[in-house]
Structure 1
Amino acid sequence: METFFDKQVKRLYEKADSIINNFFNAKRKNSHAKITIPQEFKDDFFSLVNKVNLSLMEDKDNFYGYFLLQMARDIRFDISSPTAVNFKGAKYVIYFNPVIFLNLNLKQMESTIKHEILHILSLHLIRAREFKAAYSTLAINLAMNIVVNTYLDHLPPYSVTLEWVNLTYSLDLLPFKPFEYYVEEIQAALDLLEADEDEDAAPDRAQDETIETEYHPEKTHDLWADSRDMDDKTLQEFTEKFIADAQKGSIPNYLASMISSLKNSKSELPWNLYLKRLMGTVESNQKKTMTRRNRRQPERLDIRGQLRSHKAKILVALDISGSISDQEFNQAVKEVLDIVRNYNQEITLIECDSEIRRVYKVRSVKDIKDRINIRGGTRFTPVFEYANQHKVNLLIYFTDGKGEEKLLTIPKGYKTLWVISGQGDKLSLKDAYGAVKRLKKIELKDDSLTMSDVKREGFSMNDQESLN
């Protein structure tokens, strides 16, 4: 028998369909027309959401219900999932796409709300930014969805689960593993499936981008970009406040574990893993292989496929104006060389302050020269001008972070990794165009040490902490 809740869902879906039809009719007359959501529909829709929230609060996992009470709510027809979340105006905001959300039953509605809250507890809004330069959006989204959906029942049929990813990408991923494990394995599988550069691009979607009616895993977390203006420390503090206000009783063990990890988390991708991932994603030449079929004509066994050879130009820049010691930098370059040596890369080292002072090739530790003794001001732009002109594939920039606020030259076609060292606190640029890491402050010895003085057990690039 159809319940009152079911009737309300059906009635709201018909209204949502009418809103979409009105939008398309208006757009035929005016290409700049925008979708209009009547206030009456919003009131009715959020009345339904309140019933879902009440059901959550009556459940043993009432933590989710109390957490949802603190969140602002809005409707967006342009998100490609039933729900989405971001941080805006000192609050977490949960968004609903009525067309997708209203196709779910009550338990599935609860699960998709829990799904968004688990992303928050896992600090995925923060971590997605950190991983963006090293991994594809699809790999990040799939890995993060595996992590949170592992704890949920009554998922929508299209949900990204461990079983679905294993089947889709011919993997054998294990359950209850950390996010880093999943994203690394998934990215490796995506790299193997990546089409040749001259193959046809993905077809344009006929549907208007302001209306989404289907789930698309590669776009489910697009709204997280709206939270980029909030620094990681502040976002984590707000998250902990939301958690404190949502804990009204006992909570399941998995939630307690997530909350404990959040409070102790540095939300930082390890240096070695990050640089190794960058090395695997930079543009590279291709080589023929008999172990992979040609993507255009897979039935032709006589035509060889292609694999990327992972050869690239790497630019290592050193800001000689700041407080980075010789001891720090020499050890850092040694670790960079150790990481990239298996890739047979071409490495160029640049010494710079307000301008480029010296450029030379480096193949081994023996090639590293004593640093020029100049302490001028700092400008990052000259290095990016050089990188653009020489078409590098990866720029690793060691600096104390004190330079201009805006680059005059935007990086084109390469990855950028900033390493804030010495006594630096943060990067002065408002837009870094890449990942930013910071080394923990250590007690340094005499800065006049040469390469022969640096011991292997000295300062380690693995010894990091997240930027505040």
Structure 2
Amino acid sequence: METFDTQAQKLYIRSYELVQDFLRAARQNKSQGPSQVHIPADFAAEFFRLVDKVNLGLMEDKDNFYGYFLFQMSKEIRFDISSPTGVNFKAAKYVIYFNPVIFLTLTLKQMETTIKHEILHVVSLHLIRAKELRGSCSALAMNIAMDITINTYLDYLPPYATTLEWVNLNYGLKLLPFETFEYYAAKVQTALDLLEEAGEATEDPGKNQPAETAYDPEKTHDIWQRSDPVDEQTLRGFTEKVIDASQKGSIPAYLESLISSLKSSKADLSWNLYLQRLMGSVTSNPKKTVTRRNRRQPDRLDLRGELKSYKAKIAVALDISGSISDEEFNQAVKEVLSIVKNYNHEILMIECDSEIRRVYTLKSVKDIKSRSKIRGSTRFTPVFEFANTKKLNLLVYFTDGKGEDELRVKPKGYKTLWVISGKGDRLSLKEAYGVVKKLDPIEIKTNEWDMIQVEKGGYSMNHQEKIGM
């Protein structure tokens, strides 16, 4: 009887030949060549028999949760993903994908680990949470952040796996284990921005190719974007059902904690609680200085070093053409000031409709001005054109949601939180580039005198809120 390793090696050779045949055909006839690698039925059957053996090992292991979870997933082969495995949500099921050319180079234990890796992404709700950071963090920063949160829990990692130690070494960071995905994403994005300023940024590899033969951290989770459209509450509910069906015995403490966090978290945080989340992950802007040498190129005296400014730059945009009342808005701004008071912050108030009508600095409730009487139709693009020139950390946009269906410019380097007024129902944009929340009546516990005393002092790490799931 063939050993597992022998079977895997034979399958690898054949999968490699399938990719080479595809590439030759594509080169010979560029205009009418095949669009994807042909997968013979007998190859697929033999490959999934090997996957069943891997799953049998998961079932016999103390972590049999993963084996039961895998039983409930659909399985497909894709040669166009740049990691051994990938996952998304299709036809009311989680689907796990395998790229044989990468997957079959792993040992049995590493194969088990990469399957656990994908399941932990699902349990951690990364498919949902990654959408919330899209536009404010690059794909590379998000992929690195998600992978280091997951890989911290796993043994027998592939040699190219993204670990916390690797990230700290290669990006000059001092990240600690067991922080949240959002926290890591903000820190890694700052490091990537510094590399780009120094001219050391990696080249954009472009779109996925029809056949991938090597691991690429920038594209490892691209398959998530091919999930079927489904609302967050439905996906959470489905995930909980799969998790419940997978718990047949005791589970590791870390997994129990992740599951508990998923079940205890609210499906739809109010906008003000979500703003607290975002403030906890806002990164400070680097400030150039001649008193410190460049950290990455200390011998280059012509390059200035950097210090942290620790000032959160926030813009609050008010759609004056919308249905939000003065009372609603004044109450919401008080809540914004209350949330940011423990950060060294700078707030720009932007009044807008089809164009920007007025911009002023907001430090306390006393600075809120009566809204302009000039009111036109609504366009969101002018605010983003303005915001892109201000090196913001965060834009909070209050609107009834009725504007254009597509932004002419994309937000650059800052997070966006859309707050739809109580009379609005949805955002007209096809792509929000941020999180959309409803404006509900808010109970303000802090009185106006306390609000006037909003703290403008130094930034303290003790004030940062942990970001749950």
Same fold (TM over 0.5): yes
Retained in 2: the 8 A contact 1:119–1:148?
yes
**Aligned partner letter, 1:91:** K
Alignment match, 2:427: 427
Alignment match, 1:449: none
Alignment match, 1:318: 318
**Aligned partner letter, 2:278:** Y
Deviates more, 1:147-156 or 1:425-434: 425-434
Alignment match, 1:226: 226
Cα separation, 2, equivalents of 1:65 and 1:159: 22
**Aligned partner letter, 2:196:** A
Retained in 2: the 8 A contact 1:75–1:96?
yes
Retained in 1: the 8 A contact 2:419–2:439?
yes
| Highest RCO, 1 vs 2 (Cα 8 Å, sep ≥ 6) | 2
Deviates more, 1:311-320 or 1:115-124: 311-320
Unaligned runs of 5+ in 1: 446-451
Per-residue deviation at 1:86? Answer: 1.0
TM-score (norm 2): 0.80
Counterpart selection for 1:274 from 272, 278, 295: 278
Alignment match, 1:71: 73
Tell me: CA distance 1:144–1:407, structure 2 relative to 1, closer, same or farther (3 Å).
closer
Tell me: CA distance 1:443–1:184, structure 2 relative to 1, closer, same or farther (3 Å).
closer
Q: CA RMSD in A?
A: 4.0
Alignment match, 1:303: 302
Retained in 1: the 8 A contact 2:183–2:281?
no
Matched, 1:194 2:189: no
Counterpart selection for 2:122 from 120, 123, 145: 120
**Aligned partner letter, 1:242:** V
Cα separation, 2, equivalents of 1:312 and 1:121: 32
Counterpart selection for 2:385 from 388, 399, 413: 388
SS in 1 for 2:50: helix
Alignment match, 1:238: 238
Deviations 1:350-378 (A, max 9, x none): 143xx45842322544443123579x897
Q: Which 4+ stretches in 1 moved above 6 angstroms?
A: 308-314
**Aligned partner letter, 2:442:** I
Counterpart selection for 2:151 from 149, 152, 163: 149
Matched, 1:456 2:459: no
Deviations 1:82-122 (A, max 9, x none): 11111122111111111110001111111100110011001
Cα separation, 2, equivalents of 1:398 and 1:439: 11
Alignment match, 2:333: 330
Retained in 2: the 8 A contact 1:272–1:339?
no
Counterpart selection for 1:37 from 19, 35, 39: 39
Deviations 1:310-361 (A, max 9, x none): 899975321343245143243156458858865x67x352143xx4584232
Alignment match, 1:108: 110
Per-residue deviation at 1:216? Answer: 2.1
**Aligned partner letter, 1:289:** V
Per-residue deviation at 1:5? Answer: 1.4
Cα separation, 1, equivalents of 2:274 and 2:421: 19
Cα separation, 1, equivalents of 2:382 and 2:179: 42
SS in 1 for 2:177: coil
Alignment match, 1:17: 16
Unaligned runs of 5+ in 2: 454-463
Retained in 1: the 8 A contact 2:316–2:396?
yes
Tell me: CA distance 1:364–1:403, structure 2 relative to 1, closer, same or farther (3 Å).
same
Per-residue deviation at 1:167? Answer: 2.8
Alignment match, 2:456: none
Alignment match, 1:7: 6
Cα separation, 2, equivalents of 1:315 and 1:128: 23
Cα separation, 2, equivalents of 1:92 and 1:145: 19
Percent of paired sites with the same residue: 46
Cα separation, 2, equivalents of 1:414 and 1:186: 13
Cα separation, 1, equivalents of 2:53 and 2:336: 58
SS in 1 for 2:317: strand
SS in 2 for 1:456: helix
Deviates more, 1:228-237 or 1:318-327: 318-327
**Aligned partner letter, 2:395:** I
Alignment match, 1:174: 176
**Aligned partner letter, 1:130:** E
Alignment match, 1:86: 88
Alignment match, 1:361: 360
Alignment match, 2:260: 260
Alignment match, 1:55: 57
**Aligned partner letter, 1:28:** R
Tell me: CA distance 1:264–1:159, structure 2 relative to 1, closer, same or farther (3 Å).
same
TM-score (norm 1): 0.80
Per-residue deviation at 1:249? Answer: 2.6
Retained in 1: the 8 A contact 2:88–2:96?
yes
Alignment match, 1:216: 216
